[in-house]
Amino acid sequence: MSKPAARPPAHEIRLIGGRWKRTKLPVPDLPGLRPTLDRVRETLFNWLGQDLSGWRCLDAFAGTGALGLEAASRGAQQVVLLERDPRLVQQLRAVLERLQGAEAVQVVCTDALAWMRRCEPQRFDLVFLDPPFAAGLFGPALREAVRLVPRGGWIYLESADAEPVDLEGLGLELWREQTAGAVRFRLLRRLH
């Protein structure tokens, strides 16, 4: 008896909740692009709650847009997707054209760190940070994100499992944390 053929790698993911549940997002073969796994997104939105009505969210390294679009799908009032790769920006804009009620989502073709440095403080209730692991952006991105959320605001952080975080020095507390393979994902809250 022969073994079944191996499945080809997935080239799309699906939104898992909210009004756009089951919407497919393409995943191009680009170096460093790692969409957040379905089970990780499901856990994150169980932690945050399913209804984000009125929230202002920033997806700083948007890639496929899965995190920011999940927030918008669950009612976020404003979602800004930052992505520097023009191919991904074009793809994100094409996805938004297909979605009904996507006026709350803005796609910006930019360097995420430079944009966050120019951004007004305490502008967002939630910042998603999932920078490319090998790019050395983890620490600088986290420092900028802290500035963008008010006291009690949230930062979602996805990193390589071994990446250390000085939470106390940044005025953050660890709310929840899990690992999925070599990825550690954390929900942080700003203390002051």
CATH number of domain containing 37: 3.40.50.150
Residue length of the chain:
192
User: In this structure, what is the dihedral angle of CA atoms 12, 186, 140, 69, given to the nearest 10 degrees?
Assistant: 40
Pairing mode, if any, of strands 183-190 and 172-180?
Answer: antiparallel
What 3-state class would DSSP assign to 128?
Answer: strand
Q: Is the pLDDT of residue 11 over 90?
A: no
| 50 domain-assigned | yes
Q: What is the token pair recorded at 85?
A: 């790769």
Cβ proximity of 69 and 15 under 8 Å: yes
Of residues 88 and 164, more confidently modeled: 88
Distance CA 172, CA 167 (A): 5
Q: How far apart are CA 66 and CA 8, in angstroms?
A: 21
How many domains, in total, are found in the chain?
1
Question: Does residue 5 lie within any of the structural domains?
Answer: no
Q: Which two tokens stand for residue 115?
A: 């944009």
Q: Is residue 101 part of a domain?
A: yes
Nearest to 32 by CA among 160, 137, 132: 132
Domain span holding position 121? 12-190
Rounded to whole angstroms, the Cα distance separating 192 from 171 reads 6
pLDDT of residue 10: 54
Whether 147 is in a domain gets the answer: yes
- pTM as predicted: 0.91
Please report which residue ranges of the chain form alpha helices under DSSP H: 38-48, 66-73, 86-98, 112-118, 138-148, 167-170
Q: Which residues pair with 129 in a beta bridge?
A: 157
| Any domain includes 92 | yes
Query: Does some domain include residue 141?
Result: yes
pLDDT in tens, 82-116: 999 999 999 999 999 999 999 999 999 999 999 99
Mean pLDDT of 46-59: 96
pLDDT of residue 2: 45
